[in-house]
Structure formats: structure tokens, C-alpha cells
Amino acid sequence: MASKVQKPLPKATVAMVEESQAAGRVREIYDDIKATKKIDFVPNLWKTLASHPPLLEQIWMRLKVTMAPGRLDALTKEMIALAVSATNGCSYCVNSHTVAVKKLGLDNEGLGELMAVVAMFNATNSLAEGYQIEPDIVPEV
Amino acid sequence: MASKVQKPLPKATVAMVEESQAAGRVREIYDDIKATKKIDFVPNLWKTLASHPPLLEQIWMRLKVTMAPGRLDALTKEMIALAVSATNGCSYCVNSHTVAVKKLGLDNEGLGELMAVVAMFNATNSLAEGYQIEPDIVPEV
Amino acid sequence: MASKVQKPLPKATVAMVEESQAAGRVREIYDDIKATKKIDFVPNLWKTLASHPPLLEQIWMRLKVTMAPGRLDALTKEMIALAVSATNGCSYCVNSHTVAVKKLGLDNEGLGELMAVVAMFNATNSLAEGYQIEPDIVPEV
Amino acid sequence: MASKVQKPLPKATVAMVEESQAAGRVREIYDDIKATKKIDFVPNLWKTLASHPPLLEQIWMRLKVTMAPGRLDALTKEMIALAVSATNGCSYCVNSHTVAVKKLGLDNEGLGELMAVVAMFNATNSLAEGYQIEPDIVPEV
Amino acid sequence: MASKVQKPLPKATVAMVEESQAAGRVREIYDDIKATKKIDFVPNLWKTLASHPPLLEQIWMRLKVTMAPGRLDALTKEMIALAVSATNGCSYCVNSHTVAVKKLGLDNEGLGELMAVVAMFNATNSLAEGYQIEPDIVPEV
Amino acid sequence: MASKVQKPLPKATVAMVEESQAAGRVREIYDDIKATKKIDFVPNLWKTLASHPPLLEQIWMRLKVTMAPGRLDALTKEMIALAVSATNGCSYCVNSHTVAVKKLGLDNEGLGELMAVVAMFNATNSLAEGYQIEPDIVPEV
């Protein structure tokens, strides 16, 4: 149960590269992150990945392509990201994707519907596994 | 690695209640499932949950409410269900939600974008956890 | 969706040590498994772990101690094992623990209640993570 | 590794509905939660779900039915809830279900046996998956 | 429990692009996969991702960079991939990474040690979560 | 999103057995842990498991055997432990195994490569599950 005693919160396991320390390719990626996301700071995920610049580059380049609107719009993609993060229990990720869906206009009612769907299927997933449900034989769609 | 020898596939751990055996409340729920989902058969998930009728009733009643369109439309809800199922690795669930999103019009390009988002954030979730990324301090939205 | 075409089912990634091949310490452990579990065959889990005998020994010795009745009885321990396996989606494990709980007397109603609890808390777990619920401040128990 | 520097702990991603703000159906459910659980406060899970009242109602109504003693008693159901929460790594949930099992009389020895079972089968689950153990062919029970 | 009746095994939810059908960029990537991995066939993962060519390209390009030997050698990277896949319970992935570690020389003893480590820490992970172990206060390394 | 308000961090759900309180077998195990790991304090994991001494003994004895160098060296085993912990999102575990790999000489570049592999295969695992990729038919190795 929760303690009344104050305890330190763990921090990242490596030192982050602060914006003031960023140079060269890291600097360019930081600028691209702020411009692409229309934010005035570099989130800690990226400042941590910069501890190994090739990882920062790979992940950012792939994320930028993945999140560009296509058949699915930006809000749908962020809602899916939030559903994945809630299912995995990733605290940092849930917080950042919740900020994103709110900025894109999702209100508490929409967020509640999203969470209801996430909860429903985490429940049915465990039932399908817990009973080892047989695959349905259905015509190809 | 995959064998060339044919092996039996596990089946559900309890006997399913076939439509021909369904009576009373189970019969009513089976009819409601087919009418609500506009399908002419009862999926194995429901025929298995019917091995304990109160479970069939609880899950179906909640799923029916959860999936009714609201702020989020039916396709968005099914895509979220598929994202959760892919993240959990639930075979039965992935198969059934894929049938659903295709029926609702998602093509291979849309499904590919959905899977790209699921893959992207399963990757970043493991990075946020693997480095124990510190929470961003951002203004309330 | 499920295919109508027959496909091979993957088999274990290493060759199992069949009972007829077991010698020395592996033979002794196989006999102990059958005597302890009161079964007349060695389950595939153990025949596979025997591909590296120290692993067979470590896991069996620990499982034997863990499953011995103490404050919790055998059925309670097997139900917990099944709940963990359903949550993780481990097919082999769900099948073997379901056989065990049935042998210990759990009927479809009891199994249905167990699955209802597993489903309920997989749902609330995703909600607690999805909303990043704050810890309750409660008096120590 | 843990920092010596104090950091803020993330809080819920939506504003909780405090008891003083609760009205109508939310007020009734809060009263039902306190009466049913025999506690004098509303846990944060429920105050957060109240940000979308239909979600509060769906989850509470289903939890109330699921946790009512049947074939399985209240302590068994809470132990299963704790096993699921430990397996999923849900901090809020582990804390609240631990309070519950202690209130129902489980001592450190009983909790230790429960955790030993949870740890044992999270281990064997990964072995069954890691070796892709073949299903046992056993007679139906 | 396992059935004695033969059942169909689910297949991929989209049609794979067979090598005979591959053209243009997909054809080039298929050739690069075979050359890079020194195999004479294209694994089903890639033939399935080709149902949405941009996904095939993104994932292959990133995998090729990620798996190139650096501080960690090829066998170490494949063992980590297998540990992740066993922990997630991904059948296809466990099978393909097991083929890879064997090709790179890991024998049953080495594979057994790897699985022992995977099992050990899936156990301790559930204990750390199940007891909500407090972070150690240790000096920075 | 992260709050600016200081909140208490949850602590372990049971009282830890401090070194000053340890006696008999617990005392011996604490000494063995410090000698084996060459550290001058007992990590919180062990002080918490000591709340049920048989659990402390089982887990420590098995961990000591599992982590002894064999075909795989100590660093490889710790990297695998970190990969499993990142995949499961176990905060305590990620922190302690990161300390261990750094002590064994892994620098930020090596840690970055490890995390890149963990992220890559958490992504492909979700793709293999999300598309239900068919098993490859490959010759036995």
C-alpha cells in the first residue's frame, strides 16, 4: 500500500543529452522533433536515446514515417499508441500519448470510450487464452 | 522450427455449447449475438463462455455496450481491439478482430498502417522501460 | 481467419528426451515426476527440459517444493498457476493446469468463476495503467 | 539506478471526481462501493473512472458481480486478482489487492506461498514458450 | 487439453506476397534478405509484411542495421532476440530465432543456459512487481 | 502527464528484513549474497523475500546456480536479464540489471545496441502476432 514516507523516484539509467549539450546530428534531430511535433522542448525519451545517437536516429526516423497521416489520421494513430501503452503498462508512454490525444481534441468522454475498449479486450484476450478457444472457421473476407 | 509432421492442434479446455444445444437465456444471447453482429453463426468465444452461462451473459452484455458507436466509431474501436490483441499475442482475438476490421472496410494498406503503429509503440514502450525514462514535466492540457 | 487448409503445427525447438532414452539423474527425476504427480507418463515440458539436464533438475526441484500444500492448498495453487498462464497466454501451460484443476475437482462453474476473475482484473489492470491511477493513501494493514 | 534527487511522481492523466463533487449516479455508486467493500473512502481507481461515468458504472457493476463469493471464496478471488496484477506488473493493482488479502487474513507466510507460485509459473510459462513445448496428448478429464 | 482430433492451424490474416509475385522494390528487398541472411528462401514474416510494402521496407531496413555486429556480436543479438520472444510468447519468433542461434553454433547446453536465465528473471520480475520492491539506493556507476 | 506536486512513491507491500534484524539462515543467505555479488549491502529484493524465508532461500539458491558462468558468460547473462526486464517493464529489475551490466563493462554504446535489439524484436513480435504469421517450413538444424 502507499507509504506516507517520501521516497526518491528512479530516474533514467543513463544520463540524458540536454538540448544545451546537443551537437551535430543530435542537434538536427532535436530540432526536427520540435518542429515536427510543434513543441518547444525535447521529450525525455529522445534525450535518453541520444545517449547512443544511432538509436536516436533509427527510432526517430521510423516514428516520423509511422505517424505521418495516411489511411489512418493522427488522432487514430495516437489512440492506438495509447491502447498499446496501456496494455503494456508503460507509464512514460501512457503519459505522453495522453497529452497527444488531448491536444488532438479527445475529451474525457472519448478517452473513457477508448479505455473501455482497451479494458474489454484485455479481458476477452485472457478468456480466449484461458479457455484456449478454438479458431472459428469463417469464409475468407 | 516447424515440423513436417502433422500434429493435433489443442482445442478449447471445456466443451462448447453448440447452437443446437442452447436453451433459455443462452439461446437468447446467441440470437442477440447473431443479430447484433449481423452474422449467421455464433463464434467459438461465446459457445465456450456458455460453459458457465453467467460469464457468457456478463461478457456479452459488456461487450455490446462497449462496442456501440459513440465518440469513437465502430472501425476505430475494432482497430483498437486488434492493436490490444496483437500486443497481447492472442491468436483467436487477432483473427476475429481482423475479420471485423476488413468487414468495416479496412484494406491491406490501412491494416499495414495499423500494424506499423502497433510495432512502433511496442518498440518505444520497451525503450521507455529499458532505460527507465523520466517523466516529462509538461503543462497540464 | 482460420484456414480450411491443413498446416503443420510447430513442435518443440529441441528434441525431447523420451522415457525410453532417460538414464541416470534424468531417469530418477522422471520417476519422481510420475510418482509425485500420480501420473503414468512424463509431460512434454519435462522431456524437453531434459535436453539440458541441469535445467530439468532446477525447475523440477523448485516446482516440487512450490506446489507442496502449505498455507495454500493444492487446488488454490493450481488455480493461481492457471490464472498466471491465462494472463500470459501460454497455451501449453493453460492446457496442463486446466487438467490439474479438473482432477482436483473444479467443475465448469468453478472454472467459469476463475476465468471471470482473471478477465475482470486483466481489464482493471489496463485501466489502472491506462489512466495512471494514483496510489491510494491507506493506513498500513 | 535510483537517484538521490527527489522527482515528482506522475499522477492520473485525468482529474478524479472527488467524493465532495460526486452527484447523481456517481454519488450512488460511490456509496455502493464504500458499503460493499466496507471502507470509508472511495479508492482512486473509481474516482478516476468517474471522469467518464458510464465506464465507472460498467466496471463497478461487473466487479461487484465477479467478486461475490460463489464456488470460490473472497480470499481465493483476491489472491487470483493479486496473481494477475503481479504478472502484469500493475503497481496500483498489486497495492490494492495486497491490502485486500491481508484484510481477509492472509499473513506473510501465505503471501509468500502465493508469490512463490506466481514466480514459479511465470518461469515455466517462459520455458514452455521459449522451447515451444508440444501439447501433451492426454485423455479428456 | 490436447485433442486427438485434427484441427486446422490458423494462417496469416493477409495473403503473403510469394517470391514469384514480387516485383520492383519488394523484389529488391527479398533479394537483400536472402543475401544478408545467407538463406535461399524468404521467411513468411517478410512475405506477409510485403502486403503493405512500406512496412516491409521500414522493418527490414531497421532490422538490417540493428543486427549488424557492433559492440555485441551476432550470436549475442540473436540470443537477446530469443529471450524477448520467449518472454512475449511469440511462437513464430521463437522458432526463427532458435534456428538462428543454432546456425551460429549454440548447442543444447548453451540454449538451456539461455532458457534458465530467461525463466529465472521472468520469475524475479513477477516477485519485484508482486511485492512492489522499493528501488535500491546505490551510488551511480 | 507528470504533476509538479510531490507525491509519495509506493513502497514494498511487506516489511523488509533489515540486515540488523537478520538471524540464522536469513543471516547466512545475506552474507552469501554480499560475498557472491561482491557488494557491501543486501538489495531490497532479498530483504523483501526474507519476509517469507523459504522464498528467499529458493530464489537465491536458484539465481546463484543460474548466473554462474557456463557456456554463457556473466555479462551475456546479465544482458539477457536486462532484455527480459525491459520487455516486462519491471522497474526495479531494469535498474538493478543495468547497474550489473555497467559494472561488467558495458558502456552506453553497448547498452544502446542492446536496447536497439530489445526494441526491434518487441516490434517484430507484435507484427508476427498481429498478422498471425505462418510458421516457416525449414529443414531441421
Among A52, A96, A97, A125, most F C-beta atoms within 10 A, so best to mutate, is A52
Checking if the pLDDT of A2 tops 90, the result is no
The confidence band for F137, taking pLDDT boundaries of 50, 70 and 90, is confident
Mean pLDDT of A44-68: 97
Q: pLDDT tens track of chain B, all 141 residues?
A: 343 333 445 578 999 999 999 999 999 999 999 999 999 999 999 999 999 999 999 999 999 999 998 999 999 999 999 999 999 999 999 999 999 999 999 999 999 999 999 999 999 999 999 999 988 987 654
What per-residue string of b and e applies to A96-120 under the rule 16 or more CB within 10 Å gives b? Answer: bbbbbbbeeebebbbbbbbbbbbbb
Computed over every residue of chain E, the mean pLDDT equals 92
CA F22 to chain D, closest CA, distance in angstroms equals: 16
Cell numbers 536458484: residue: F62
Share of chain A above pLDDT 70, in %: 91
Among A4, A14, A129, most F C-beta atoms within 10 A, so best to mutate, is A14
Q: Which of B11, B98, B111 sits opposite E7 (nearest CB)?
A: B11
D119 CB neighbours in chain E (<8 A) are 123-124, 126-127, 130
Computed over every residue of chain A, the mean pLDDT equals 92
- Rounded CA separation F52/F16 (Å): 10
Query: Is the CB of E84 less than 8 angstroms away from the CB of F122?
Result: yes
Quick: pLDDT tens for F61-105: 999 999 998 999 999 999 999 999 999 999 999 999 999 999 999
Query: Is the CB of A58 less than 8 angstroms away from the CB of F13?
Result: no
Cell numbers 540524458: residue: A16
Residue F18 burial (10 A CB sphere; 0-12, 13-18, 19+) = exposed
pLDDT value of residue B139: 61
What per-residue string of b and e applies to D46-75 under the rule 16 or more CB within 10 Å gives b? Answer: bbbbbbbbbbbbbbbebbeebbeeeebeeb
Q: pTM to 2 decimals?
A: 0.94
Residue B18 burial (10 A CB sphere; 0-12, 13-18, 19+) = exposed
Query: Is the CB of B48 less than 8 angstroms away from the CB of A77?
Result: no
- Rounded CA separation E21/F31 (Å): 65
Chain-centroid distance of CA A4 in Å reads 31
- Rounded CA separation F109/F113 (Å): 6
Quick: pLDDT tens for A8-23: 555 789 999 999 999 9
pLDDT value of residue C11: 77
**Grid cell for residue A43:** 521529450
- Tell me how many residue pairs between chain A and chain C have CB atoms under 8 A apart: 100
Subunits with 3+ C-beta pairs closer than 8 A to F: A, B, C, D, E
Checking if the pLDDT of C47 tops 70, the result is yes
Closest CA to E110 of C54, F136, D75, F20: C54
Q: Which of C1, C14, C95 sits opposite E108 (nearest CB)?
A: C14
pLDDT value of residue E1: 38
Quick: pLDDT tens for E39-51: 999 999 999 999 9
Indicate if ipTM > 0.90. Answer: yes
A89: DSSP letter: T
Q: Which of E85, E119, E141 sits opposite D127 (nearest CB)?
A: E119
CA B25 to chain A, closest CA, distance in angstroms equals: 20
**Grid cell for residue C6:** 491443413
- Rounded CA separation A80/B80 (Å): 6
- Tell me how many residue pairs between chain C and chain D have CB atoms under 8 A apart: 205
Subunits with 3+ C-beta pairs closer than 8 A to B: A, C, D, E, F
- HSE (CB half, 13 Å, CA atoms) of D115? 37
E71 CB neighbours in chain A (<8 A) are none
Whether B40 and B30 have beta carbons less than 8 Å apart is answered as: no
Subunits with 3+ C-beta pairs closer than 8 A to D: A, B, C, E, F
The confidence band for D7, taking pLDDT boundaries of 50, 70 and 90, is very low
- Provide CB contacts within 8 A for E127, sequence distance 6+: D86, D115, D118, D119, E133, F45, F49, F55, F59
CA B22 to chain A, closest CA, distance in angstroms equals: 18
Query: Is the CB of A107 less than 8 angstroms away from the CB of B13?
Result: no
pLDDT value of residue A140: 53
Quick: pLDDT tens for A68-120: 989 999 999 999 999 999 999 999 999 999 999 999 999 999 999 999 999 99
Query: Is the CB of C9 less than 8 angstroms away from the CB of B14?
Result: no
Closest CA to C53 of C84, C73, C76, C30: C30
